[in-house]
Chains A and B, each alone.
Chain A
Amino acid sequence: MADEFETHGDRRKGEDRRSGRDRRADRDRRGGSDRRNRQDRRVGWGRIEDQRLEGVLTTAATVAHLFSQPLTIIIGHVDLLLSSVEDQATKSKLEIIKGQLQALSITLQDLRSLREYKTVDFDGFTLLDIGLRKVKKLV
């Protein structure tokens, strides 16, 4: 039964209301496995969600990689100091530094473990959802 737009329930415009079959070429228009147009099939193009996830994963891996070395060196020296320092006040400050470094390590681990693109609203700003609550608890 036709509706008020005479579209018989199909609200696409007339020129878009083609069947899947191309009668002239006698083939299925939806045949190819990659249904993006030629423009979008260029390297680096694709669904926005996929591109976002890929960008996020690349950034996360890069950050994790670059931060790992300086953190290893800092944590190593803090550990060495903790094992040799006698003064209690210095020791407790080192313990605080170590705790914060552990919080950073956990964040790096969360970045490495990222498998999906999820965000959280942080006072009107969009942040990646990488266990922010967990970090907040530690700080």
Chain B
Amino acid sequence: MIHELFGLERDKTLSTSMGIEILLWDQHRSEREVIKEMLAKLGCHVTAVREEDECLTKFREGKYDLVIFDQGLPELDVNEFLEDLADIDQLTPVAMLATLDFEYYETRYGDSNIDFIIVKPFEFIQLQELVKEATELGERVKGSG
């Protein structure tokens, strides 16, 4: 089941996400940098990459609590990318940054191993919620596996 993250309500408290390791793949420099900064502000350690290959290499080499990737590339084969991630480790939560209606993604990727979808534009509070839920999911899945 994919979770959609809403967050128009304000919550000024920053999460204590200290030490959470996040792998962020986003081709767009400005977007990548601002998301990295936001996550760092939440106390996460972020490895931000530009290319798909780089993302898979980092994922293979490191240990991450969450993978966030941007779906905003027309030529990206999302399912293939997800399979590549799952071949390396299928217990790590995966979040996709998307631009269209949530229902569309739920139909298209409901059976895939995407755990969270954040529809852009999003705010601090949604990232905070994502980190919190992904951490809980990761603990639950790894604990039971």
Taking beta carbons and an 8 Å cutoff, which residues of A are in contact with B? 61, 64-65, 68-69, 71-77, 79-80, 83, 101-102, 105-106, 108-109, 112-113
**Contact assessment for A71 and B99 in the assembled complex, using a CB-CB cutoff below 8 Å:** no
| Neighbour of B101 across the interface among A75, A80, A106, A112, CB < 8 A | A112
Most buried by B among A65, A74, A76, A109: A76
- Are B101 and A68 interface neighbours, CB within 8 A? no
Minimum Cβ distance to chain B for residue A44 (Å): 21
Q: Is the interface of A mostly helix, strand, loop or mixed?
A: helix
Contacts A69-B72, A76-B124, A80-B41 known; list 20 others, CB within 8 Å.
A64-B100, A65-B72, A65-B100, A68-B99, A69-B31, A69-B99, A69-B120, A71-B120, A72-B31, A72-B120, A72-B121, A73-B30, A79-B38, A79-B123, A80-B34, A83-B14, A83-B41, A102-B8, A112-B100, A112-B119
Give the docked Cα–Cα distance between A112 and B30 (Å).
24
A79 with B99, Cβ < 8 A, contacts A73-B30, A73-B34, A102-B8 known? no
| Residues of chain A contacted by B37 (CB below 8 angstroms) | 76, 80
- CB <8 Å contact, A68 and B34: no
B→A interface (CB under 8 Å): 8, 14, 28, 30-31, 34-35, 37-38, 41, 72, 97, 99-101, 119-124
Asked if A75 meets B122 with Cβ closer than 8 Å, knowing A65-B100, A80-B34, A112-B101, the reply is yes
CA distance A106 to B41 in the complex (A): 25
Residue of A nearest to B124 (CB): A79
CA gap between A106 and B99 in the complex, in Å: 13
Q: In the complex, what's the smallest C-beta–C-beta distance from A84 to chain B, in angstroms?
A: 9
Q: Given A71, A76, A108, A113, which contacts B38 in the complex, CB threshold below 8 Å? A: A76
